[in-house]
């Protein structure tokens, strides 16, 4: 997660609440043909889980990349998101059959936006050498860069990288970007959502590109922030996928969890700028296990991430797009000790010694 401020609006009773948060430098339907969900044995051991995990590297005690890849494979994690094209990680991924999303750092966006040659150089260095051994699913051009100083560079950089991919006949690698809820000016109820004035033009540019090429927009969704900001108004079960019935009613659409409401807020916002058919993927979602008292316990983190994973794998979709599969990534693989102290150091599913912070894959 990048340092940014996000706003999430919701309503309970007659009260409209704006949540302000700092994201610090942070089987209903199973689509068997394309998305594998295998249960092996009576103990429910999972192999081939069709969800990704973000592999961050902001720690000085993390295991070698080769061991990280082995940990992904031993837990059946089929997808990995890299925030940057780390050479050691890419080398370790050779032959792993893990599907990879590789990120373009925000600070690299101006060069890639202004020069096809720079885009080609980035591709030649970070993708081309690994094409025979790594399955690249996405190139994520920037992380939460819109709005902001790098926002105007996202669209041109996406175009230049896509042109390079097409020149190399790599039609299967999709180019996208990752955004956060900060781009929403209004988000409650979901049907009333709209992009902020500051973000609307940039989002329209990006969505036109994604629509043209059939690629999804990646969105970072964190119900934790809303719950931690206003626990007296945001029900824990609504934040954690555990509510037994509707908590929010929006016309004919009923919402039992805040994740779906947030995703649908993006979908409604995209419709309002003329792009009703762009798919949504989840760049990251998670819940810290420590760092903020009673709001961040291992049990809360396990409950959220387990339910989030099940929600995605079972292709439940959202009330506005039911039974719709979404590519998704849990944030994050490890606790990272070089991040700011507090919750940012405690999103990991594993400690750096590779033991689980809490059980989720077995």
What mean pLDDT comes out for the span 297-323?
Answer: 97
CB 206 within 8 A of CB 177: yes
Q: In terms of pLDDT, which residue wins out, 194 or 3?
A: 194
Question: Of the residues 107, 135, 144, 232, which is catalytic?
Answer: 144
> Which tokens is 86 given?
């780390």
pLDDT at residue number 47: 52
What mean pLDDT comes out for the span 293-313?
Answer: 98
Q: In terms of pLDDT, which residue wins out, 46 or 264?
A: 264
What mean pLDDT comes out for the span 118-130?
Answer: 99
pLDDT value at 344 more than 70 = yes
Give 1's pLDDT tier (boundaries 50, 70, 90).
low
Calpha distance 142→158 (Å, rounded): 9
CB 310 within 8 A of CB 264: no
CB 258 within 8 A of CB 242: no
Please indicate, yes or no, if residue 266 is contained in any of the structural domains: yes
Angle at 319 between CA 317 and CA 320, to 5 degrees: 90
- Counting Cβ atoms within 10 Å, is residue 169 exposed (0-12), middle (13-18) or buried (19+)? exposed
Please indicate, yes or no, if residue 14 is contained in any of the structural domains: yes
pLDDT value at 6 more than 70 = no
pLDDT value at 27 more than 80 = no
Tens digit of pLDDT for each residue in 67-107?
999 999 999 999 999 999 999 999 999 999 999 999 999 99
pTM to 2 decimal places: 0.88
Q: How many CB atoms lie within 10 A of CB 16?
A: 11
Q: Tell how far CA 212 is from the center of its chain.
A: 22
Region of poorest pLDDT, from 169-173, 311-315, 353-357: 311-315
pLDDT at residue number 362: 72
Please indicate, yes or no, if residue 312 is contained in any of the structural domains: yes
Residue 312: closest CA among 347, 350, 283 = 283
pLDDT at residue number 235: 97
pLDDT value at 13 more than 60 = no
Provide the domain count of the chain.
1
Q: How many CB atoms lie within 10 A of CB 74?
A: 11
- Residue 196 to residues 183, 185, 186, 274, 285, Cα–Cα distance (Å): 6, 4, 7, 15, 22
Which domain range does residue 10 map to? 4-345
pLDDT at residue number 226: 95
pLDDT value at 58 more than 60 = yes
Q: How many CB atoms lie within 10 A of CB 329?
A: 26
DSSP 8-state secondary structure symbol assigned to residue 350? B
Residue 60 phi, psi (nearest 5): -100, 10
pLDDT value at 275 more than 70 = yes
pLDDT at residue number 38: 29
**How does the average pLDDT of the chain come out, rounded?**
90
Calpha distance 254→248 (Å, rounded): 6
Tens digit of pLDDT for each residue in 141-171?
999 999 999 999 999 999 999 999 999 999 9
* 322: Cβ contacts below 8 Å, ≥ 6 apart: 316
Percentage of the chain lying above the pLDDT 90 cut: 85
Calpha distance 119→113 (Å, rounded): 8
pLDDT at residue number 233: 92
Give 274's pLDDT tier (boundaries 50, 70, 90).
very high
Tens digit of pLDDT for each residue in 223-259?
999 999 999 999 999 999 999 999 999 999 999 999 9
CB 282 within 8 A of CB 316: no
Is the bond preceding residue 336 a cis peptide, omega within 30 degrees?
no
Question: Of the residues 117, 135, 244, 284, which is catalytic?
Answer: 284
Please indicate, yes or no, if residue 289 is contained in any of the structural domains: yes
Please indicate, yes or no, if residue 353 is contained in any of the structural domains: no
Please indicate, yes or no, if residue 224 is contained in any of the structural domains: yes
Please indicate, yes or no, if residue 39 is contained in any of the structural domains: yes
In the residue annotation, 284 being an active-site residue is answered as yes
Residue 147: closest CA among 120, 100, 104, 182 = 182
Q: Tell how far CA 224 is from the center of its chain.
A: 14
- CATH code, domain carrying 93: 3.20.20.80
Please indicate, yes or no, if residue 354 is contained in any of the structural domains: no
């Amino acid at each position: 997660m990048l340092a940014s401020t996000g706003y999430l609006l919701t309503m309970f009773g007659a009260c409209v609440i704006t949540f302000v948060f700092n994201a610090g430098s942070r089987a209903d339907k199973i689509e068997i043909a394309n998305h594998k969900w295998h249960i092996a044995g009576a103990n429910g051991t999972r192999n081939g889980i069709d969800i990704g995990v973000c592999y961050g590297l902001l720690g000085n005690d993390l295991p070698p990349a080769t061991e990280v890849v082995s940990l992904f494979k031993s837990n059946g994690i089929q997808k990995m998101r890299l925030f940057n094209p780390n050479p050691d990680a890419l080398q370790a991924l050779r032959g792993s059959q893990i599907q990879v999303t590789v990120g373009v750092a925000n600070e690299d966006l101006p060069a890639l936006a202004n020069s096809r040659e720079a885009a080609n150089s980035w591709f030649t260095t970070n993708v081309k050498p690994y094409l025979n051994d790594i399955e690249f699913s996405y190139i994520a051009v920037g992380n939460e860069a819109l709005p902001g100083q790098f926002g105007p560079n996202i669209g041109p950089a996406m175009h230049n990288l896509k042109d390079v991919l097409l020149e190399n006949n790599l039609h299967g690698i999709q180019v996208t970007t990752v955004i956060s809820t900060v781009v929403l000016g209004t988000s409650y109820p979901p049907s009333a959502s709209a992009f902020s004035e500051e973000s609307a033009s940039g989002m329209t540019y990006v969505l036109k590109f994604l629509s043209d090429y059939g690629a999804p927009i990646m969105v970072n969704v964190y119900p934790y922030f809303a719950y931690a900001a206003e626990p007296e108004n945001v029900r824990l079960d609504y934040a954690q996928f555990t509510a037994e019935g509707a908590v929010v009613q929006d016309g004919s659409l009923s919402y039992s969890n805040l994740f779906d409401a947030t995703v649908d807020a993006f979908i409604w916002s995209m419709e309002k700028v003329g792009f009703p058919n762009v798919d949504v993927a989840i760049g990251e979602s998670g819940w810290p296990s420590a760092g903020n008292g009673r709001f961040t316990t291992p049990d809360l983190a396990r409950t959220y991430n387990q339910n989030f994973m099940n929600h995605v794998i079972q292709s439940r979709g959202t009330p506005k797009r039911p039974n719709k599969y979404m590519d998704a990534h849990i944030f994050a693989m490890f606790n990272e000790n070089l991040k700011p102290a507090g919750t940012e150091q405690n999103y990991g599913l594993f400690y750096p010694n590779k033991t689980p912070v809490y059980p989720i894959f077995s």
